[in-house]
Amino acid sequence: MKVIVQQAAFDAGALVNTFTAAQAGMGAIVTFQGVVRGDGGLARMEIEHYPGMTERALTAIATEAAQRWSLGNVLVIHRHGSLAPGEVIMMVATAAPHRADAFAAADFLMDYLKSRAPFWKKEYAADGAAENATWVAAKDADEAALARWQGAGNV
Amino acid sequence: MMIDVLYFAWVRERIGLPRERVTTEAATVADLVAELIQREDRYAAAFAEVTALRVAVDQVLTGFDAPLSGAREVAFFPPMTGG
């Protein structure tokens, strides 16, 4: 299991290749990448996080996934700082003997890290003015999504 | 006791600083919030709607009724928006 929090961009292809090559006996690798959308003239996004707690929360979520499904490995990488539309924000990768577990675990990881990992996004419009920047509000749907995984333990 | 109090996102902006060391005898998170609100208007503004906030004690998400005995770090922030 690997959890990475960093400001710098990462090479998703290289990470997936390394992740895939390291799995023995795993028949399924699922990956998901979250990308900054350019909706509504968005110029960039600032992602703030809570150093220390972020790594801790992501590790707890990945550990929970590994306990719930038969997984060979889990990778979570999440960026912070300034990101432009089209940039990859984060990626999860799961390896499992069979695809159902790999898909379900990736889905679970995404639902949990959306509302249980301490990241906050602020959106800047094209004028770049700080006074026009807005914090992205959490959606009720994000919280509701967690109900799908009831009994998820300590995360 | 001394506790490091951290603020993130719009809570940080309203209070005007990312962290501070607070001397308090508050028994719970809610007691600490009540003390902070008494300090200055900017704290009252940040904590006006406590249901809109989340809290972590020693980097673990918890509730406002959580005890503070032995705690070293308390963080206040809006609901998280990762992913």
For residue A128, is pLDDT > 80?
no
Average pLDDT of the segment spanning A8-29: 96
Listed in sequence order, the residues at least 6 apart from A97 whose beta carbon sits closer than 8 Å to its beta carbon are: A25, A26, A27, A28, A70, A72
Listed in sequence order, the residues at least 6 apart from A139 whose beta carbon sits closer than 8 Å to its beta carbon are: none
Contacts 24+ apart (CB under 8 A), B19-26: B24/B68, B25/B1, B26/B68
Which residues from A are below 8 Å from B46, CB to CB?
none
Distance from the B29 Cα atom to the nearest Cα atom in chain A, whole angstroms: 18
pLDDT of the residue at A137: 93
A70: left (phi over 0), alpha (psi -120 to 50) or beta: beta
Residue B70 in contact with partner chain A when CB distance is under 8 A? no
Look at the domain A2-126 and name its fold: Aldehyde Oxidoreductase; domain 3 (3.90.1170)
The C-alpha atoms of residue A8 and residue B65 are separated, in whole angstroms, by 38
Nearest CA in chain B to A108: B83
Residue B33's H or E segment, with its range, is helix B29-39
Give Cα separations from A62 to A74, A85, A101, B45 (angstroms): 7, 27, 13, 36
Residue A130 CA from chain centroid, whole number: 26
Average pLDDT of the segment spanning A120-129: 88
Kindly report, residue by residue over A34-85, the tens digit of the pLDDT: 999 988 889 999 999 999 999 999 999 999 999 999 999 999 999 999 999 9
Residue A155 confidence class, pLDDT cut points 50, 70, 90: low
Confirm if A96 and B58 have CB atoms less than 8 A apart: no
**Residue tagged 């292809």 (tokens):** A13
For residue A132, is pLDDT > 90?
no
Q: Which CATH class is domain B2-77?
A: alpha beta
Q: Where are the domains of chain A?
A: 2-126
Q: Where are the domains of chain B?
A: 2-77
Average pLDDT of the segment spanning A95-99: 97
Angle at CA A69, nearest 5°, toward A91 and A17?
35
Q: Any idea what DSSP says for residue B26?
A: -
Nearest CA in chain B to A76: B83
ipTM: 0.95
Which residues from A are below 8 Å from B82, CB to CB?
78, 90, 113-119
Average pLDDT of the segment spanning A101-120: 96
The C-alpha atoms of residue B56 and residue B62 are separated, in whole angstroms, by 5
Distance from the B41 Cα atom to the nearest Cα atom in chain A, whole angstroms: 21
pLDDT of the residue at B77: 98
Kindly report, residue by residue over B28-78, the tens digit of the pLDDT: 999 999 999 999 999 999 999 999 999 999 999 999 999 999 999 999 999
pLDDT of the residue at B10: 96
Residue B60 in contact with partner chain A when CB distance is under 8 A? yes
Contact B9 A48 (CB under 8 A): yes
Among A120, A122, A131, A140, pick the best mutation site for testing chain B contact (most B Cβ within 10 A).
A120
Average pLDDT of the segment spanning B6-32: 97
pLDDT of the residue at A130: 76
Average pLDDT of the segment spanning A75-101: 97
- Residues from A contacting B (CB-CB < 8 Å) are 34, 48, 50, 52-53, 56-57, 78, 89-90, 110, 113-122, 135-138, 142-143
For residue A153, is pLDDT > 60?
no
Residue A113 confidence class, pLDDT cut points 50, 70, 90: very high
